[in-house]
Amino acid sequence: MVKLERIYTVPLGDAYETVRGKRVPRAVKILRTFIGRHMKADGERILISESLNKFLWLRSIQKPPRRVKVRLIKDEGEIRAYLSDEKVVEPKKKEAPKAEGKKEEKKPEEKPVAKAEKKEEKPAGKPEPKK
């Protein structure tokens, strides 16, 4: 699939219409809907980078930024969102398990070594104090 990359400025001012204690979560929802609308994502995964999330939470839950400039990359069923000036790190691809069946090497079973039982010796002269 062709990789699609775009840069947008997302307005987040509508988050201020919400109660103070819920503004940043609302801003994240606004960001996700904006990404889904402009990148034509139907049921695709939208991944927000850690630095973008930190930028949204920088001034606490009550004061998210009014707008944020993001770089969006659409590739193979997922959309990744980064800050516009953030260095983009390609995610590691998971390797498919090899078709060859690996034989598990059996180690020779070790016989348990009998441990010498330690006997606790009590001093003969004094009984233990009762609690």
pLDDT by residue, tens only, the chain of 131 residues: 568 999 999 999 999 999 999 999 999 999 999 999 999 988 789 999 999 999 999 999 999 999 999 999 998 889 999 999 988 877 676 676 666 655 666 666 766 665 555 555 555 667 677 76
Is the sign of the CA dihedral 32, 37, 41, 42 positive or negative?
A: positive
- Joined tokens for residue 114: 């009998």
Query: What is the pTM for the complete model shown?
Result: 0.67
CATH topology of domain 4-83: Ribosomal Protein L31e; Chain: W; (3.10.440)
Domain boundaries, the chain: 4-83
Give me the pLDDT at residue 90, please.
73
How far is residue 6's CA from residue 21's CA, in Å, rounded to a whole number? 32
Q: Which amino acid is at 90?
A: E
Give me the pLDDT at residue 106, please.
65
Give the relative orientation of helices 50-57 and 23-38 as an angle to the nearest 10 degrees: 140
Contact 25, 59 (CB under 8 A): no
Look-up of token digits 């002269």: 125
How far is residue 61's CA from residue 59's CA, in Å, rounded to a whole number? 7
